Amino acid sequence: MEHQVAPFDAARVRAEFPALGLTVHGKPLVYLDNAATAQKPRAVIDAVERYYESENSNVHRGVHHLSQVATQGYERARDKVRDFIGAGAREEIIWTAGTTEAINIVARSFVRPRVKAGDEVLLTEMEHHSNIVPWQMLRDELGIVIKVAPIDDDGALDMDAFEALISDRTRFISVVHISNSLGTINPVERIIALAKARKIPILLDGAQTVPHAPVDVQALDCDFYAFSGHKMFGPTGVGVLYGRRELLEQMEPWQGGGDMIQHVTFEKTIYNDLPYRFEAGTPNIAGTIGLGAAIDWLAGIDHAAALAHENDLLEHATRELSQIGGLRLIGTAANKAAVVSFVLAHAHAHDVGQIVDSEGVAVRVGHHCTQPVMQHFGVPATARASFAFYNTHEDVERLVAAVRRVAEMFA
């Protein structure tokens, strides 16, 4: 007899997220802004609260009890991240404030010393601003050239054009794994293979990937991988830069101060070993401990079932929204994550967002820090519904009903 797989129990999961029980404008909250930030399970909230109530202290230098407890929690979280993304060593896990800081570290500390005027960095048209602006800063400072691989009208990366843009002047490739505004899942295995064949270092922006799909950085064979804690059900203000140890060891610190040093005189400073040489000053201790709690919580989720559930929600939302007159979907790549972006004829995205919010449905409106994507599709902004595994088909129906109301008002 064929084994029957039980459907994903979103109701059981969502019960662990206090915010999902809120009422907004007199209606139960439907939270569909997960690509911006995800809600937090009780286990994460409790871990952060416990730190501030009974473990609060600075890390590494204290010999007293609270400092020892805080340090253990802080470093234990690093080990959890190492295992979660399949890194080879804990020294390859650098705490950052988020994906943005992680990319900036690579741009300033790894790429900047290795490029000169005329050298090229290859990006894609769907990049988040945090993977555009740091490279523009290097361009303006050093005269490097930014090459941009185009996307097609479905929002998929043109891989032939991408490959053709790689030249003997390409010094670095930085690519988003999953687009935050389109949901497009890039063929990163093929992209990495192209980079490796030419010995070009590569970074992946994994901010939208880690919360929804398993990531193994060693299997991917990327050189750097960046992501944020708050999108994977952890606290805000904490993120991770993974880097190959041999590359991190070649990099100079990008900030100076406490904890990133071994010895300081007015004549000379000896920098600390990995990973601490990139972690200047008092870190976000509560955030790292909370992120560790999020990883522990995620370990109890059936990831294959959760991903299947999210894909089911994506199909449901895409099908129902497509039937609304005057609605245009933005981002219809064949391989995409659970993100639906759209525009409505005669209605600005901000009007859509406000009216939908009055129905208790939270979506994101604007350019989503991807203004080049908006320019490609000829729109100033979109409304974006982004799903997590705690969302339900009822959430989709509430969204569709709210958007239908907007369409009728602006018809």
pLDDT category at 2 given cuts 50, 70, 90 is very low
Please tell me whether residues 127 and 265 are part of one structural domain.
yes
Average confidence (pLDDT) over 292-307:
95
The domain boundary, picked from 298, 333, 354, lies at 298
Q: Which CATH number do you get for residue 18?
A: 3.90.1150.10
Please tell me whether residues 20 and 123 are part of one structural domain.
no
What percentage of the chain has pLDDT greater than the value 70? 98
Average confidence (pLDDT) over 55-68:
93
Residue 2 falls inside a structural domain:
no
Please tell me whether residues 218 and 270 are part of one structural domain.
yes
Please tell me whether residues 290 and 306 are part of one structural domain.
no
Please tell me whether residues 246 and 327 are part of one structural domain.
no
Residue 264 falls inside a structural domain:
yes
Residue 197 falls inside a structural domain:
yes
CA distances from 216 to 26, 175, 189, 248, 311 (A): 43, 17, 12, 18, 21
DSSP character for 300?
T
Residue 370 falls inside a structural domain:
yes
- Tokens for 399, please give them: 């969204």
Average confidence (pLDDT) over 43-63:
95
Please tell me whether residues 137 and 31 are part of one structural domain.
no
Q: Supply the pLDDT for residue 61.
A: 82
Domain count, the chain: 2
The domain boundary, picked from 277, 298, 319, lies at 298
Q: How far apart are CA 274 and CA 251, in angstroms?
A: 10
pLDDT tens, position by position, 242-276: 999 999 999 999 899 988 989 999 999 999 999 99
Residue 73 falls inside a structural domain:
yes
Q: Length of the chain in residues, anyone?
A: 411
pLDDT tens, position by position, 129-156: 999 999 999 999 999 999 999 999 999 9
Q: How many CB atoms lie within 10 A of CB 126?
A: 28
Kind plus residue range of the DSSP H or E element containing 356: helix 349-358
Residue 55 falls inside a structural domain:
yes
Residue 4 falls inside a structural domain:
no
Which of these is catalytic: 369, 372, 393, 410? Answer: 369
Q: Note the pTM of the prediction, 2 decimals.
A: 0.96
Please tell me whether residues 190 and 286 are part of one structural domain.
yes
Q: Which CATH number do you get for residue 241?
A: 3.40.640.10
Please tell me whether residues 182 and 275 are part of one structural domain.
yes
Residue 3 falls inside a structural domain:
no
Q: Using an 8 Å Cβ cutoff, are 146 and 169 in contact?
A: no
Per the structure, the complete domain to which residue 321 belongs is given by 10-36+302-409
CA distances from 230 to 123, 385, 402 (A): 25, 17, 27
Please tell me whether residues 55 and 25 are part of one structural domain.
no
Residue 222 is among the residues annotated as catalytic for this protein: no
The domain boundary, picked from 298, 315, 340, lies at 298
Please tell me whether residues 323 and 345 are part of one structural domain.
yes
